[in-house]
């Protein structure tokens, strides 16, 4: 009846299909490293922002504090991260990558970069820059409330 996408109408749904597809590909690559896509995203953030709080992570991955906390719990049980009480702010806790966590991340990162590079094969750097600019613009367009709504 047609291919995967007949989003003649809305770029929004084309972006959704792209996300779903890329998530699938990345997940497959991450599976061999024992990581989920969400876990990988969190490890990336914690690598770049050591000592971030649960709320920080939640904001950066655009998810609810609760969800982030649950998933960080998984990472903690797996020994990939550790939580320490914040020295100044007694409400929050700082989260750090453990040695094994960093190792796992450094092992997985090249795999993800590889599949992403393979996906973008054939596009020139200029074109990719345009794509990046457009996606950034879209991501910045967040309408008022950043948190709402089901998946589709």
Partner DNA sequence: GCACGATCGTCAGGTACCTGTCAATAGTAC
Partner DNA sequence: GTACTATTGACAGGTACCTGACGATCGTGC
- Residue 114 Cβ vs a second copy, minimum distance, rounded to whole Å: 12
Count of Cβ atoms closer than 10 Å to residue 146 Cβ: 9
- For 40, the 3-state DSSP assignment is helix
In whole angstroms, give the CA distance from residue 115 to residue 39.
18
Nearer to DNA, 61 or 115 (CB): 61
CB of 82 to DNA, least distance (A): 13
| Nearest to a second copy of 84, 134 (CB atom) | 134
Residue 44's contacts (CB-CB under 8 Å, 6 or more residues apart) are: 105, 109
Q: Is the CB of residue 107 less than 8 Å from the CB of residue 33?
A: yes
Query: 100 or 142: whose CB is closer to a second copy?
Result: 142
Tokens of 122: 């054939």
The C-alpha atoms of residue 33 and residue 30 are separated, in whole angstroms, by: 5
Nearer to a second copy, 87 or 121 (CB): 121
**Using CB under 7 A, which of the segments 3-11, 64-72, 118-126, 133-141 binds DNA?**
64-72
CB-based contact 92:55 (threshold 8 Å): yes
| From the list DNA, a second copy, none, partner contacted by residue 119 (C-beta under 5 to 8 A by kind) | a second copy
State the residues that interact with a second copy by CB under 8 A: 1, 3-6, 8-28, 36-38, 41, 44-45, 48-49, 56, 60-63, 67, 109, 112-113, 116, 119-120, 123, 127-128, 130-132, 134-146, 148-152
User: Which residues in 73-112 contact DNA (CB under 7 A)?
Assistant: 88-93
Q: CB under 8 Å to 22, separation ≥6 — which residues? A: 116, 119
Interacting residues toward DNA by CB under 7 A: 38, 53-56, 58, 62-67, 69-71, 88-93, 147-152
């Amino acid at each position: 009846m047609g291919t995967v996408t007949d989003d003649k109408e809305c770029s929004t749904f084309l972006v959704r299909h792209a996300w779903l597809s890329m998530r699938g590909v990345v997940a497959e690559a991450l599976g061999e490293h024992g990581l989920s896509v969400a876990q990988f995203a969190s490890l990336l953030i914690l690598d770049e922002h050591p000592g971030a709080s649960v709320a920080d992570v939640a904001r950066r991955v655009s998810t609810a504090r609760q969800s982030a906390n649950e998933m960080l719990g998984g990472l903690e049980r797996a020994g990939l991260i550790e939580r320490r009480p914040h020295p100044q702010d007694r409400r929050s806790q700082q989260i750090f990558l453990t040695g094994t966590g960093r190792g796992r991340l450094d092992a997985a990162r090249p795999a993800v970069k590889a599949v992403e590079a393979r996906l973008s094969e054939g596009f020139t750097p200029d074109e990719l820059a345009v794509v990046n600019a457009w996606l950034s613009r879209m991501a910045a367009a967040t309408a008022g409330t950043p948190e709402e709504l089901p998946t589709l």
